[in-house]
Structure 1
Amino acid sequence: MADQAFVTLATNDNYAKGAMVLGKSLQGHNTSRKLVALIGPQVSEPAREVLRNIYDEVHLVDVLDSGDTAHLALMKRPDLGVTFTKLHCWTLTHYSKCVFMDADTLVLSNVDELFDREELSAAPDPGWPDCFNSGVFVFRPSNETYEKLLQRCTEDGSFDGGDQGVLNSFFSNWATADISKHLPFIYNLSSIAIYSYLPAFKQYGSEAKVVHFLGKVKPWNYSYDPKTKSVKGHSQDPSMVHQDYLLKWWDIYSTMVVPLMKEHYGSQPFHSGVSEVDDIHHGVAHVHVSVPPPPPDISSEERKQKWEQGQADYMGMDSFDNIQRKLDSFLN
């Protein structure tokens, strides 16, 4: 299928690492489609070379200096710069159909069947299921659609400040018009859903085909010990993903991506831009994440309020393992 492609976007070297792992995961599950990466100007040349080694096409997308329709639109809405960058995927008109995947997604099995779907097909967002999550979606490249999207950005902005708000406003009938455009959640398993509906994850999680590492803390913000095959790092981020998926990401990164980095970075150490990283020539890049002090004990009422506010202690008393133990105890 030479006229169909998976497309992703990397705006900097951190997300480039995610795109590298995503590309390798697609290849590892024998996709028959092309791979395309859109990159921002902040992606370094060595990282671009690694991406070119993995992807069939790597396109520099810089709306600030492009002088095209996006540049003119950005003059009116500079707050939507990253959104405009992502919308450039509609300009890939040498493809008849594409599947966009955020750089913080990971493919767990072959997902070529997504190309049987039509624009705009996507999975529901766990935070507001009448909206789709824009981390994975099927679309048809079109310059006409691209210009209409930019016009929508210019006139109405984005209700969430990003591409998801713009796309949901533009494809506003997604929730009601055609159920065939609702992708099963297993094609965009948002990490936060694992904890918000644990019984469903226990029932259906093994069927997941794509995991989406939502939240501020990404897989590349942790550290990995290749000897013990364990992920290290501690976070109070409420959308921390299940450990098994982090291990899958780091396994691909350490065995398939790091060797490419050694080749293309030469004598340059690779830095994530988040925190101090070891020189890549000393092995796998270890990202050191500081561990915050343990939170003080709270009453059951305070704990209930934090749950209602979406501030549960997912790394402490409300961790996946603790909740699972309580469920098992209740069911037994």
Structure 2
Amino acid sequence: MPAGIITRSSHPDALWPGVKSWFGLSYDKEPATYTKIFDQMTSDKFQERVVEATAFGLAPIKTESSPIQYDSDGEGYTSIFQHVVYALGYIVTEEELEDNQYEAVSRARSGNLAWSMSTTAEFVHANVFNRGFDGAYPIGDGQPLFSAAHPTNAGAQSNLLTAADFSEAAMEDATKAVWRLQTNRGFPINGGVKRIIINPEDAFSVTRVLNSVLRSGTANNDINALNAMGVVPEVVVNKYLTDTDSWYVQTDVPNGPTTFWRRKVRLRQDNEFDTGNARAKADMRFSAGVGDWRSLLGNTGA
């Protein structure tokens, strides 16, 4: 019997009455996380390209009777979103369907396949962050997503925060780093914190730091500036982040985390004439990545 085919031996207890219940088929599904972080776009091509445009520099002084100087704009780096197909299916023998005494087992398969597809999408999107410090996964400018050496016309720029576990001081430093973001020409931009993205391990400490009226974890009677200024509008807990102490700041810079859907999830079923086996499959095609690295700042944790 070929591997991957569900036969009567796959669920031997399902062939006999008397099983009180089956577990493992009805866990609550995790609400979608990536849709809170990534902008959702559709695509009708095999790939999408997001290209940086460089602006003009500062205007120099023009002396009397001298000609003005001219500048030119151009292109910076290109982020390529290459769509990938993800697919999974199952095959059930005709005899297994006939002899299975528990409809709940059979009916759950399509739902479980849909769950596998949605969970796959979560892992793919989370890997944008999980691989963000790894030089083996560069973005269009040749640097990892989180780097202190993004090349620009004004020299190297950084969206890599000084390694530190999440704390009041670390979040204040991150906020100041957001405020210091610059264009390709080195000009300040009006960037702000849109949300922070954390592993569940940091959920309690983040809540204490951001929601305390006074400074968290000290005897000082100072106000909590992060809270008073409303620096962090939203916190997203992402269970698919692999590093338990890394954390991320998403800014309001446009063209940030984006997913292009070439084909949404589709489920199809048929039967094999020769064997009588029932087959079902699901597939989807999309890409996920980041356009402008200034939309995210990353901290590896201590």
After TM superposition, the score normalised by the length of structure 2 is 0.24
Higher helix share: 1
After TM superposition, the score normalised by the length of structure 1 is 0.23
Higher strand share: 2
Larger Rg: 2
Greater RCO structure (CA 8 Å; 6+ sep): 2
